[in-house]
Amino acid sequence: MSTVTTPRPVGTRRLVGERPGPASRRGAVLPTVVLFLGALYCLVPVAWVLVASTKSSSELFSTFTFLPGTGLLENLRDLFAYGDGQYVQWALNSVLFAGVGAVACTVVSTMAGYALAKYDFPGRQVAFYAILGGVLLPGITLAIPQYLLMSKVGLAGTYWSVLLPCLISPFGIFLARVYAMSAVPTETMEAARIDGANDARVFVSVALPMMVPGMVTIFLLQFVGIWNNFLLPFIMLSDERMYPLTVGLYTLLSKGSGTPSLYTLAIIGSAVAIIPLVAMMLVLQRYWRLDLISGGLKG
């Protein structure tokens, strides 16, 4: 505090400036400890579920929480046998919804964001405000009217009813627009046009390659968003075999309140469910351009 408010003679200031070596290394102990505590807070539940997944249902309530049990293989067998392999089906559904949904949404968002960033056309402002409104609107409040409309056209309860609403992401379009504005130089587009390229060609061979990092970010955000979505599939689907993992695990848990053996299934099911997504996150972490999001507000 006082270092800034009280003026010091130049000599003292220089001295303060020279000291940082050992002093700030010592000073970095507290930040390091706080960050480690944060890491611990975030890892404990994950560690717990991995340990608990090795326990048989009798060990779950009797042995110390972080003591590994002996039931891992049996739990895995039970999990994959549950309801004739329903768990695998749920996992495949999640992959389908999140994978197909995120790819398609990225393509739709990239095209729209590119058009909004790089073309001047009547109605551009209106389109932009519509998208901004969509970003601020809590999408989940639309789930019920979406369900009613889906059942009117006979799509409720099908894969389409979960997949189609995931394809439009105002936030994805917003990010694509921000990224296209900063990453695709208009001069390069003009040069390609002078060389005779039409609009489609300029987009595919000039703009798209430049927008790849932004597209990866939109894809990952949308993938995680759809993978984690609960209310939309919960409302839309009634056939248990079409559930994604989130809804499937929820039904396991809500049935399990009476039967402890289903608790073990819910635990091993959660452990198996988070491993691939955490692994994907760790691998793809460096391709994320999350600075896009923070830069977005200025754009």
Partner 1 sequence: MSAVTDTPPPAYRRARRRWAAPALFLLPAALLFVAFLAIPICYALYLSFRGMRMAGGGPFGVRQETWVGLDNYAAVFTDPELLAGLGRLAIYGAIAVPLTLGLALTFALLLDLPRVRGARFSRTAIFIPYAVPGVVATLLWGFLYLPSTSPAGWILERVGLGGIDVLHGPMIFPSVANIAIWGGVGFNMIILYTSLRGIPVDVYEAARLDGASEWDIAYRIKIPLVAPALTLTGLFALIGTLQVYGEPTTLRPMTSAISQTWVPLMLIYRDAFTRDNLSLAAASSVVLALGTLVVSVILLRVTQKRSFGES
User: Residue 167 and residue 213: Cα distance in Å, rounded?
Assistant: 20
Least Cβ distance, residue 241 to partner 1 (angstroms): 18
The smaller minimum CB distance to partner 1, of residues 102 and 116, is found at 116
Stretch that binds partner 1, among 48-56, 69-77, 80-88, 208-216 (CB under 8 A): 48-56
Q: Taking CB under 8 A as the rule, does residue 22 contact partner 1?
A: no
- For partner 1, which residue of 4, 73, 126, 283 counts as binding (CB under 8 A)? 4
Least Cβ distance, residue 184 to partner 1 (angstroms): 13
Contact string 100-119 vs partner 1 (x = CB under 8 A): -------xxx-xx-xxx--x
Least Cβ distance, residue 79 to partner 1 (angstroms): 14
Contacts of 216 (CB under 8 A, 6+ apart): 284, 287, 288, 289
Contacts of 131 (CB under 8 A, 6+ apart): 112, 116, 170, 173, 174, 177
Tokens in use for 3?
Answer: 């270092």
HSE value, Cβ hemisphere, 13 Å, CA-based, for 118? 26
Q: In this structure, how many other beta carbons lie within 10 angstroms of the beta carbon of residue 298?
A: 6
The smaller minimum CB distance to partner 1, of residues 89 and 106, is found at 106
> By the 8 A CB rule, do 82 and 265 touch?
yes
The smaller minimum CB distance to partner 1, of residues 206 and 247, is found at 247
The b-or-e profile of 16-39 (16+ CB within 10 A means b, else e) is eeeeeeeeeeeeeeeeeeeeeeee
Q: Taking CB under 8 A as the rule, does residue 18 contact partner 1?
A: no
**In the window 78-97, what residues touch partner 1 (CB under 8 A)?**
none
Q: Taking CB under 8 A as the rule, does residue 32 contact partner 1?
A: yes
Least Cβ distance, residue 232 to partner 1 (angstroms): 10
**In the window 116-175, what residues touch partner 1 (CB under 8 A)?**
116, 119-122, 124, 127, 130-131, 133-134, 136-142, 144-146, 148-149, 164-165, 167-168, 170, 173
Contacts of 253 (CB under 8 A, 6+ apart): 262, 263, 266
Contacts of 184 (CB under 8 A, 6+ apart): 114, 117, 118, 206, 207, 210, 211
**In the window 259-298, what residues touch partner 1 (CB under 8 A)?**
263, 266-267, 270, 273-274, 277-278, 280-282, 285, 288, 290-291, 293-298
**In the window 168-207, what residues touch partner 1 (CB under 8 A)?**
168, 170, 173, 199-200, 203
User: Residue 123 and residue 36: Cα distance in Å, rounded?
Assistant: 51
